[in-house]
Amino acid sequence: MLDWIWFLLLAIGVVYGIATGNVNAVTEAAFAAANNTVVLILEICGLMCLWLGLLKIAEASGLVAKLGKLLSPLIRRLFPDVPASHPAFSFIMMNAAANLLGLGNAATPFGIKAMEQLQTLNPRKDTATPAMITLLVMNTSCITLLPTMVISLRVSANSADPTAIIGATVLASSIGLLCALLLDSLMRKKQGGA
């Protein structure tokens, strides 16, 4: 669907350029946008390497594991069906810790591993368990304490204060996670009562 929307926007722009006699402006804008895209990708790539390198150092030093253990009591309450000794539990904690640090790229492998481990506990292999749904909800709407990708984009756009969005991000992602977990809990109760 998004492909069609982008195609439609581009087609309208080209048709408008032809109708108004500004075909050269459309062509110049297309080449300028392509050039800017390459520069932006290279800048973001460097910044993401920095952030992912810092996470790797945090992971190797045990900081991510400590953050995961700090989250352990909360995660136990969110996933009562998962035994604390099960491998899925540690992957869920690592996923949450990486998401808290704003490193969705690093959180994804932990989330996939957690889902694979949760599937081993699943008696009906063709249906998601409540724990799987909660993990998906939590992964999608996790609190972000350090929005590294957004900060990287703001740095590449020469923002005067690239970290100014941290407070708003923490607030918005906290509210989003709270609402998502409340809805997940309500749906669990509704399914249990049905």
**What is the number of structural domains in the chain?**
1
Both tokens of 119, joined, read 């599937």
15, part of any domain: no
Give the separation between CA 162 and CA 153, rounded to whole angstroms.
Answer: 8
Helices (H), the chain: 2-20, 23-61, 63-78, 87-100, 104-120, 130-140, 148-156, 166-193
For 117-133, write each residue's pLDDT tens digit. 999 999 888 888 999 99
Tell me whether residue 37 is in a domain. no
Cα distance between residue 59 and residue 49, in whole Å: 15
> Is there a domain that residue 42 lies in?
no
pLDDT of residue 194: 45
- Whether 107 is covered by a domain: the verdict is yes
Could you tell me if residue 183 is inside a domain? yes
Report pLDDT for 99: 82
Return the percentage of the chain with pLDDT > 70, whole number.
Answer: 98
Lowest mean pLDDT among 35-44, 72-81, 118-127, 177-186: 35-44
For residue 102, tell me if it sits in a domain. Answer: yes
Q: What is the pTM of this model?
A: 0.67
User: What is the phi/psi pair of residue 68, to 5°?
Assistant: -60, -40
Q: Is residue 49 part of a domain?
A: no
pLDDT of residue 132: 93
Give mean pLDDT, residues 50-69: 77
How many separate helices (H) and strands (E) can be counted in the chain? 8, 0
pLDDT value at position 66? 81
Check residues 100 and 124 and name the one with the higher pLDDT. 124
Confidence check: pLDDT of 115 > 90? yes
- Confidence class of residue 5 from pLDDT cuts 50, 70 and 90? very high
Joined tokens for residue 123: 């008696």
d(C-alpha 38, C-alpha 167), whole Å = 30
Sign, Cα dihedral of 43, 59, 87, 187 = negative
Structural domain boundaries enclosing 114: 55-193
**What percentage of the chain carries pLDDT values higher than 90?**
24
Q: Does a structural domain hold residue 126?
A: yes
Asked if 55 contacts 100 with a C-beta cutoff of 8 angstroms, the reply is no
Q: Which of 129, 166, 134 is nearest to 147 (CA)?
A: 166
